[in-house]
Amino acid sequence: MRTTIYEGDLRAMQKKPWPLDTRTVSNLIIVLIGILFYFVLYRFDAVRAKISMVTGVLSPFIIGFAIAYLLNTPTTFFEEKVYNKYRHRRTLAIVTVYLLAAAVLAILLNLILPQVWSSAVELVNNMSTYMRGLDALVQDLIIRFNLEGEGINEMLVTYQNFIQSLTDMAIDKVRTSLPQIWNFGVALGSGVVAALTALISSIYMLSGKNRLVPQLKKLIYATIPKKKAAWFLGVCGQANRIFVGFINGKLIDSAIIGVLCFILNLILQIPYNILIAVIIGVTNVIPFFGPIIGAVPCIMILIIVDPWSALRFAVLVLALQQFDGNILGPKILGDSTGLSAIWVLVSIVVCGGLFGFPGMLLGVPTFAVLYALVREWVNHRLKEKGIDGDGNPLLPPREVSGDDESDL
């Protein structure tokens, strides 16, 4: 009898529900995440230093992943469209894409970058001559149009001092870097090893992606519940589509804008056209602020060299910006992010302030993924409550009658 009672009590204890229900556990998790977030913000410098240390160690593999991610789209194109009838089509596609990438890199290193460097050196060497020419032009305009010369001269002196300080800063930076050249051998050796590691790892990632992706899926399904795993993989797929569409489209868009800027600079006879075209093309990668960031230093340079060229270039930049924003950009990018202008602005300012240039570039697709997740969660909660975005009850789906079907 005692044994029977004990077994009954044991079964009752086993059937007793867990004292913490799902809502309590969720609240505890939210509190823990809030504490962790507060700790990260409070010790942000220390956390960022630890992250920088880890990323520094893993940087060859991170760079290799970035290379493989960028080259995955052209590799897939060559594999499925060009070499689809060959047995080793993936190997042929990888070799072709890497040879094309090496050719583009060689063109940049041998043709464009030396001219950019020579233009920058020539600009610095002739800065005093350009300053005197600008001063003579301003004085001539003051006399010709009988202008108030004192205020204009003060503005001119301030502007010249500002440009001269920037020039001196650039020269000092180069001079302080020259004594470090003797350490370049060690840095070059470690850089070559890191570059080779990144290159080899990117090739392995591209060639073995059909094995790596199923392994990651298997790991995800083994560690978390099936429903959550499917949701997580869906989010990863959506993020991948957003990032691929945005990054590839933005690179193509910026390359086209850079080439157009170079051609139009030649037609309009704007000096230092290669240097200016490279600045415009590179900064155009940054959404929203890119044309402004690139145009401001170019106009400041051209004001010193040739003010009338600066005026022509300002009109050219406005025309390029309108062409890119209304015709070329939507044609290439489409609505790849789904973000409004205000969220694009917020993502650039926040991520750019935290992570610099990479944050300004990758902040927009990252915000696009977060925006899509929040939108999905909001729609799901509204559907659970049975209301729409205005708080009105949702109408039940109308049943289609036979007459309606005949009308259709």
Name the token pair of 293.
Answer: 């960031």
Is 104:71 a contact under the CB 8 Å cutoff? no
Examine the pLDDT at 332 and tell me if it is beyond 80.
no
Tokens for 213?
Answer: 């992706």
Residue 97 CB neighbours (<10 A) = 21
The count of other CB atoms within 10 Å of the CB of residue 339 is 21
CA distance 188 to 184: 6
Q: Is the pLDDT of residue 62 over 60?
A: yes
Give the 3-state secondary structure of residue 387: strand
Give mean pLDDT, residues 267-295: 84
Q: Where are the beta strands (DSSP E) in 169-226?
A: none
Q: Residue 270 and residue 274: Cα distance in Å, rounded?
A: 10
Q: Are 350 and 365 in contact (CB under 8 A)?
A: no
Task: Please name the residues in contact with 164: beta carbons below 8 A apart, sequence gap of 6 or more.
Answer: 127, 131
Distance CA 193, CA 189 (A): 6
pLDDT in tens, 71-80: 888 898 888 8
User: In 160-191, which positions are buried (b, 16+ CB within 10 angstroms) versus exposed (e)?
Assistant: beebeeebeeeeeeeeeeeeeeeeeeeeeeee
Which tens digit of pLDDT belongs to each residue from 95-146?
999 999 999 888 877 777 777 777 777 777 777 777 777 777 777 766 666 6
Cβ atoms 313, 294 nearer than 8 A: no
Asked if residue 286 lies in contact with residue 348, where contact means CB atoms within 8 angstroms, the answer is yes
pTM, entire model: 0.67
Choice among 79-88, 182-191, 264-273, 334-343 with the minimum mean pLDDT = 182-191
Token pair in block for residue 330? 């939507």
Residue 349 pLDDT > 90, yes or no? no
SS3 assignment, position 339: coil
Buried b (16+ CB within 10 A) or exposed e, 134-157: beeebeeebeeeeeeeeeeeeebe
Band the pLDDT of 241: cuts 50, 70, 90: confident
Closest CA to 208 of 53, 65, 62: 65
What's the pLDDT at 185? 44
Dihedral sign, Cα of residue 281, residue 287, residue 288, residue 292: negative
SS3 category, 393: strand
Both tokens of 199, joined, read 């290159």
Within 10 Å of residue 98's Cβ, how many Cβ atoms? 17
What mean pLDDT is predicted for residues 307-336?
A: 82
Residue 335: count of CB within 10 angstroms of its CB: 8
* CA–CA dist 11, 15 (Å, integer): 6
d(CA 228, CA 224): 7
Return the closest-CA partner of residue 285 out of 367, 339, 352. 352
Q: Which two tokens stand for residue 179?
A: 């004594």
> 3-state class of 82 per DSSP?
helix
CB-based contact 284:294 (threshold 8 Å) = yes
Between 105-114, 164-173, 235-244, the lowest mean confidence (pLDDT) is in: 164-173
Residue 284 is given by DSSP the state T
Residue 65 confidence (pLDDT) above 70: yes
